């Protein structure tokens, strides 16, 4: 691993960690219902520029599965986050998203109808104890509400289900063709619901550029880099990037947006990331 390898390895985590900051910035000018159509629209346009995303032929038997992924991987959870961030700070949203590997592991165990290895159970238990610390310390005051935290948990459940369902399709066709088609499905499905809120736009270039960055980088290029890292460095090493997400989100929220973050929530974030690491390490 050279310095350049480590830098590229960190790129997806940094970009995805900044995504919650971009959402918060976008909400300054755009209603929550418009955030997701904009991000998946820019994301799909960007992914469509890559021949590897367009030239793969999807077998008819898998069309329904990609349609399902468009709903439960893109349309629903990505639509939830803007509404959640109207009630929860970007830093707390990002810290809670550090638990995504935990939800994936739990759903995988439920789908397999068997308990995971004992060490992985320990990792999940440690991780969820950190999530509880974040939720309890964040939902008790300030601008964060339990309703917003509940919305984030719902989105993470959808992530846990969809990412498990996406694995066989990604192995069959590659990550980018599946992601590109799922984003196009999501865009078609959710855009009509955003039309009634067009008159609520208070346009400003800063929030608009945040939406462009969210779509181009967070919803497209970060996945491209992640796929490249997995191919060059191995999926286990590439997954390390995920643990950077809550750290970046916390730093941007606290230092740039001046969000108040409870010390107990920061401790919970560290515990949740540790649990996610232990869960992923024992699983692989």
62-85: per-residue pLDDT in tens?
999 999 999 999 999 999 999 999
pLDDT value at residue 107: 86
16-34: per-residue pLDDT in tens?
999 999 999 999 999 999 9
- Give the least confident one: 147-156, 167-176, 213-222: 167-176
Helical (H) or strand (E) element with 123: helix 118-139
pLDDT value at residue 283: 46
Q: List all residues 6 or more positions away from 59 whose beta carbon is below 8 Å from its beta carbon.
A: none
pLDDT more than 70, % of the chain: 94
Contact 252, 22 (CB under 8 A): no
* Tokens representing residue 241 in the block: 């990037």
Task: Please give the Cα distance from 199 to 30 (Å, whole number).
Answer: 10
pLDDT value at residue 163: 84
Helical (H) or strand (E) element with 7: helix 3-26
The radius of gyration of the chain from alpha carbons, rounded to an integer in Å, stands at 18
| Overall average pLDDT of the 160-166 stretch | 87
pLDDT value at residue 171: 84
pLDDT value at residue 36: 96
DSSP at 143: T
Task: Please give the Cα distance from 171 to 180 (Å, whole number).
Answer: 15
125-152: per-residue pLDDT in tens?
888 898 888 888 887 666 678 889 999 9
6-18: per-residue pLDDT in tens?
788 889 889 999 9
Highest mean pLDDT, choosing among 184-198, 219-233, 264-278:
184-198
Contact 216, 54 (CB under 8 A): no
**Taking the complete model, does pTM exceed 0.75, yes or no?**
yes
Task: Please give the Cα distance from 25 to 17 (Å, whole number).
Answer: 14
Task: Please give the Cα distance from 152 to 97 (Å, whole number).
Answer: 8
């Amino acid at each position: 691993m050279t310095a350049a390898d480590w830098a590229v390895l960190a790129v997806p985590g940094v970009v995805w960690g900044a995504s919650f900051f971009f959402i918060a910035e976008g909400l300054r000018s755009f209603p929550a219902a418009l955030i997701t159509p904009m991000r998946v629209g820019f994301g799909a346009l960007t992914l469509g520029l890559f021949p590897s995303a367009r030239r793969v032929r999807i077998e008819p038997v898998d069309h329904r599965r990609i349609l399902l992924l468009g709903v439960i991987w893109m349309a629903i959870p990505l639509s939830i986050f803007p509404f959640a961030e109207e009630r929860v700070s970007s830093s707390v949203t990002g810290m809670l998203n550090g638990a995504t590997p935990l939800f994936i592991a739990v759903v995988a165990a439920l789908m397999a109808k068997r308990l995971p290895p004992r060490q992985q159970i320990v990792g999940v238990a440690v991780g969820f104890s950190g999530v509880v610390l974040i939720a309890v310390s964040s939902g008790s005051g300030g601008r964060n509400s339990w309703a917003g935290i509940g919305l984030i948990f719902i989105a993470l459940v959808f992530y846990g289900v969809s990412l498990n369902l996406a694995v066989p399709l990604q192995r069959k066709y590659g990550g980018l063709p599946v992601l590109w088609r799922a984003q196009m499905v999501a865009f078609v499905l959710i855009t009509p619901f955003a039309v009634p809120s067009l008159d609520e736009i208070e346009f400003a270039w800063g929030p608009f550029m945040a939406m462009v960055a969210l779509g181009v980088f967070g919803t497209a290029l970060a996945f491209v880099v992640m796929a490249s890292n997995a191919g060059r460095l191995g999926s286990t090493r590439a997954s390390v990037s995920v643990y950077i997400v809550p750290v970046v989100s916390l730093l941007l929220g606290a230092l740039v947006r001046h969000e108040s973050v409870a010390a107990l929530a920061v401790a919970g974030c560290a515990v949740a990331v540790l649990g996610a690491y232990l869960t992923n390490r024992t699983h692989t």
